[in-house]
C-alpha cells in the first residue's frame, strides 16, 4: 500500500529496498524504518520535534504516566476491528505499539530521530515505520481502515484520501483542563482548551460519531516534571523565571485530561 513520494506509483520491497516502477528507491535503515521524506517536501533541515523533546517524551511516557490514556485508545481501536491502522505523527511509537493486536499498523512521523527510536525499540517488527510528512502521506488512496492522530497533525484532505469508504478517524486532543496546574504555574493565566473546534476543522469531510474524556491524575517527581515540561511547547513558551521555578519543585500534582473523538468519513467529492 506504500506509494513513492516522488511519483506516487506503488512501492515494492526487495533486498531491504523499496523501489517504484520509475526506479525511485528508498533503503530500509538498519533500525527497520524507511525514510520517504523527500527534499521537495522539507521546509527545514531537521523537521519535527527536536531530539531533546523526543527523548524527554520517551522517558516520560516509558515511566507509565499516560498509561491509562494509552490503554483506552488501544481498546477503542481494537474494537473497531480494523485491518490497517495508520498512526499519523507517531513520534517515538509509545502509542503506536499498543495498536498492533491482529492489525497491520503503519507509524509515520516527520521527525527522523523519533522514528529511529520507535523502529529500534520494535524488536518484533510489528509496525511499518515511516519517516514522512503528513501533508503528502506515502500511502495509496483508500488503503487504510483507521487513521489515528494523537496530539498530532490533522491533514484532513490526505486522511480523507487514504481512508477507505467506511474509514474511521480517531483524534485525541487536550480536554479543557489538561495539565491545568502545570500551565497555571508556567503562565499564570490559563485559557482552557477547546476540543470542539476540531468539529469545524474536520467538517464536512468527517462527522463526529463518539467522544469520551479520559482523566489521568499524576504525582510527578522532579525528573518526571522536567521531562513533561521539555516534551511540550511549554518549554519555549514560558518565561525562563517561571520555568526555572517549576523545575525546582521536588514533587508536583498534575492531571492529564484527554478528549478522544471518533469521526466517520462522509461520502462526498473525491480528492486527487
In a domain, 14, yes or no: no
In a domain, 91, yes or no: yes
Binding residues: 4, 7, 20, 24, 66, 92-93, 178
Q: What is the pLDDT of residues 51-77, one digit of tens each?
A: 888 899 999 999 999 999 999 999 999
In a domain, 1, yes or no: no
Instruction: Tell me the residue range of the domain where 261 lies.
Output: 43-265
Spatial separation of the C-alpha atoms in residues 95 and 164, rounded to whole Å: 23
CATH of the domain at 256: 3.40.50.150
Spatial separation of the C-alpha atoms in residues 91 and 199, rounded to whole Å: 24
Q: What is the pLDDT of residues 109-118, one digit of tens each?
A: 999 999 999 9
Q: What mean pLDDT comes out for the span 82-89?
A: 97
> Which residues neighbour 198 within 8 Å (Cβ) at sequence distance 6 or greater?
154, 171, 173, 261
In a domain, 6, yes or no: no
In a domain, 182, yes or no: yes
Spatial separation of the C-alpha atoms in residues 150 and 170, rounded to whole Å: 8
Q: What is the pLDDT of residues 219-272, one digit of tens each?
A: 999 999 999 999 988 888 899 999 999 999 999 999 999 999 999 999 865 544
Binding residues for S-adenosyl-L-methionine: 66, 92-93, 178
* Domain total in the chain: 1
Q: What mean pLDDT comes out for the span 101-108?
A: 93
In a domain, 16, yes or no: no
Binding residues for Zn(2+): 4, 7, 20, 24
Q: Which three cell numbers stand for residue 226?
A: 522536567
**Longest Cα separation, the chain:** 58
Q: Using DSSP, state whether 170 is helix, strand or coil.
A: strand
The cell 491482529 sits on which residue?
102
Amino acid at each position: 500500500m506504500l506509494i513513492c513520494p516522488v511519483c506516487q506509483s506503488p512501492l515494492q520491497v526487495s533486498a531491504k529496498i523499496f523501489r517504484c516502477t520509475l526506479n525511485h528507491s528508498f533503503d530500509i535503515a538498519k533500525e527497520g524504518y524507511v525514510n520517504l521524506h523527500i527534499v521537495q517536501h522539507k521546509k527545514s533541515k531537521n523537521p519535527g520535534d527536536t531530539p531533546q523533546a523526543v527523548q524527554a517524551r520517551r522517558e516520560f511516557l516509558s515511566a507509565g504516566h499516560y498509561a491509562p490514556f494509552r490503554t483506552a485508545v488501544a481498546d477503542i481501536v481494537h474494537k473497531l476491528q480494523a485491518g490497517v491502522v495508520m498512526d499519523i505523527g507517531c513520534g517515538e511509537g509509545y502509542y503506536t505499539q499498543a495498536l498492533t493486536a491482529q492489525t497491520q499498523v503503519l507509524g509515520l512521523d516527520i521527525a527522523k530521530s523519533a522514528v529511529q527510536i520507535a523502529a529500534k525499540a520494535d524488536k518484533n517488527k510489528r509496525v511499518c515505520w515511516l519517516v514522512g510528512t503528513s501533508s503528502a502521506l506515502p500511502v495509496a488512496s483508500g488503503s487504510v481502515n483507521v487513521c489515528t492522530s494523537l496530539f498530532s497533525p490533522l491533514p484532513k484532505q490526505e486522511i480523507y484520501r487514504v481512508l477507505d469508504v467506511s474509514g474511521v478517524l480517531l483524534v485525541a486532543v487536550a480536554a479543557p483542563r489538561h495539565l491545568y496546574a502545570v500551565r497555571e504555574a508556567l503562565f499564570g493565566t490559563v485559557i482552557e482548551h477547546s476540543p470542539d473546534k476540531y468539529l469545524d476543522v474536520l467538517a464536512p469531510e468527517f462527522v463526529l460519531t463518539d467522544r469520551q474524556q479520559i482523566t489521568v491524575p499524576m504525582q510527578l517527581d522532579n525528573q518526571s516534571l522536567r521531562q513533561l515540561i521539555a516534551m511540550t511547547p511549554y518549554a519555549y513558551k514560558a518565561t525562563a523565571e517561571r520555568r526555572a521555578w517549576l523545575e525546582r519543585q521536588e514533587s508536583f500534582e498534575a492531571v492529564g485530561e484527554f478528549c478522544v473523538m471518533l469521526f466517520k468519513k462522509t461520502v462526498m467529492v473525491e480528492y486527487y
